[in-house]
Structure 1
């Protein structure tokens, strides 16, 4: 087990091991899991001193704090009481973490197969107070790995958790296709709630926490946080990537389209419609009668199209794409009044006037920065990219950079 821990610390979460001078036509790539016992995995959740970030992921804002996900490793806590001088104050080591949400001083976070609940009442003494075990998939969707096959032959999901992968080259006759889909579905003044970015898979409404994983939508009862319970878990669609909550509806972005669910019965989401679009990664945000969807091509996202779609959702049962705009390599997006903010990857942050939606007008462009996701708050805009937190102020008709903060 010590060898596995050492292996996980020395190598990136997914890396490629290959031999030189091989005939590629005779070989294929196979992802081999790096495993850890469930007992060790669950015991590794700890509150630690601040540390450098390895790979910034999603961001979440709550009161004077910003939570920045370190992909698959945990959450950095930033004290942002002074946005001109943010401070990295703590790190919560949460293996296999990708998302968080906060309500009433309670932090909800995924950790591999589990949902973990923390008490934030005393930010100097954060405590784990609850855990719902075996509610999320114990394996990874193949679309997230640069491999043709995944070798689950020696993996026991009842006793182990996958904490990474080694990508190997194997001769085709020895690389058999596993039934990974079956394994994936195996269950193994201040605001009380916070605000997530457009890549969020967690969302809280009243006494319910909604969580989207690759193919399922889960509903948790959080009235008693220490004894959070899973109420519902149903198939939602294929390759779900993001979840956005707006006016009694959930909008789920997948790499194939947009799913709309009604939560008028909050405990039992019901699918209303599905809009198919070109293949690509796609966060979504919603306001009024329109949803705004960025579609990114390349890598495992599918084709090479990069665009911003404006979707008319006046009739939730019959949404349609009303207008599309060419983008460079778009990621997250957010809305503030008449402004639509789009993170266009290495092409920077783009600000659109959406007052005449579906006709958008580009009114500002912050170039020479690599952008990932944004959260438009009441008084300022938060953006993360390249392990850096950017903060912008709104002044009249202008958006101005006020600080940058690199977590290293």
Structure 2
């Protein structure tokens, strides 16, 4: 009887100690990064075709026909004319804060821009860019590189994280 009672007490102590230990998958309470936040109205109107610029932090590269699309992480896409693969040249830059990925079919681009999926039409020869459709909040809020989710208002969007 005493052995059973000791085992029950040890089991209760074990359960109490384990229940106080935080799970390993909890995000940190604080982050070493701070979010770059845009208001929803500014974010909705943030995709713009601009002149070429230097690549800051390259991401994925897409080859579509005679064009290369190079992601500049969380800021947009560089468009390079690859008509002559020996001498590709920068043609323009699609500024899209929070953009990390693109799929291209014909002249339609499907961009994941932070929380939204955006459909664009692009005419590389004339330089025309039109936002055809924006599906809001398709993707989750962008968390920090160390796993922190920010507290943001309904009218705000996290487009990047910078080390403090």
TM bin (shorter chain)? 0.7 to 0.9
- The 1:33–1:61 alpha-carbon spacing in structure 2 relative to 1, beyond 3 Å, is same
Residue in 1 that maps onto 2:121: 119
Q: Specify the alignment match of 2:46 in structure 1.
A: 44
Change (3 A) 1:30 1:86: closer
Structure 1 ranges of 4+ moved more than 2 A: 28-34, 120-124, 149-153, 163-168
| RMSD over aligned Cα atoms | 2.1
**Structure 1 residue 136 corresponds to structure 2 residue 135:** no
Runs of 5+ consecutive residues of structure 2 not aligned to the other structure: 1-29
Q: Residue in 2 aligned with 1:150?
A: 148
Q: Give the Å deviation of 1:98.
A: 1.0
CA distance in 1, matches of 2:46, 2:70: 19
Q: In structure 2, how many angstroms separate the alpha carbons of the residues matched to 1:90 and 1:167? A: 29
- Trace 1:181-330 onto structure 2 (pairs within 5 A): none
Q: How many residues align?
A: 134
2:74 alignment partner, one of 72, 75, 84: 72
Which secondary structure state, in structure 1, belongs to the residue aligned with residue 71 of structure 2?
Answer: strand
Aligned 8 A contact 1:50 1:76 in 2: yes
Q: Give the TM-score of the pair, scaled to structure 2.
A: 0.73
Structure 1 residues not aligned, in runs of 5+:
1-27, 169-408
* Cα distance change, pair 29–75 in 1 and its aligned pair in 2 (3 A): closer
8 Å CA contact retained: 2:142, 2:160: no
Q: Is it true that 1:81 corresponds to 2:83 in the alignment?
A: yes
Task: Give the structure-1-normalised TM-score.
Answer: 0.31
User: Residues 130-172 of structure 1, C-alpha deviation per residue, up to 9 Å, x if partnerless?
Assistant: 21111011231x5x23xxx73634x22x21011333545xxxx
Query: More helix by proportion, 1 or 2?
Result: 2
Tell me the distance in 2 between the aligned counterparts of 1:131 and 1:90: 22
Contact 1:47 1:93 in 2 (8 A): yes
Deviation, structure 1 residue 126: 2.4
SS at the partner of 1:98?
strand
Q: 1:29 to 1:128 in 2, by over 3 A?
A: closer
Matched residue of 2:41: which SS? helix
Query: Is the CA contact 2:142–2:149 (under 8 Å) kept in the aligned structure 1?
Result: no
Superposition deviation, residue 94 in structure 1: 0.8
Give 3-state SS (helix, strand or coil) of 1:126's partner.
Answer: strand
Alpha-carbon distance in 2 for matches of 1:159, 1:101: 27
Q: Is the 8 A contact 2:66 2:82 kept in 1?
A: yes
- The one of 97, 106, 124 equivalent to 1:95 is 97
Do the aligned partners of 1:33 and 1:151 also contact (CA within 8 Å) in 2?
no
* 1:31 counterpart residue number: 33
SS at structure 2 position matched to 1:128: strand
1:155-166 pair list within 5 angstroms: 155-156=152-153, 158-166=154-162
Highest CA radius of gyration, 1 or 2? Answer: 2
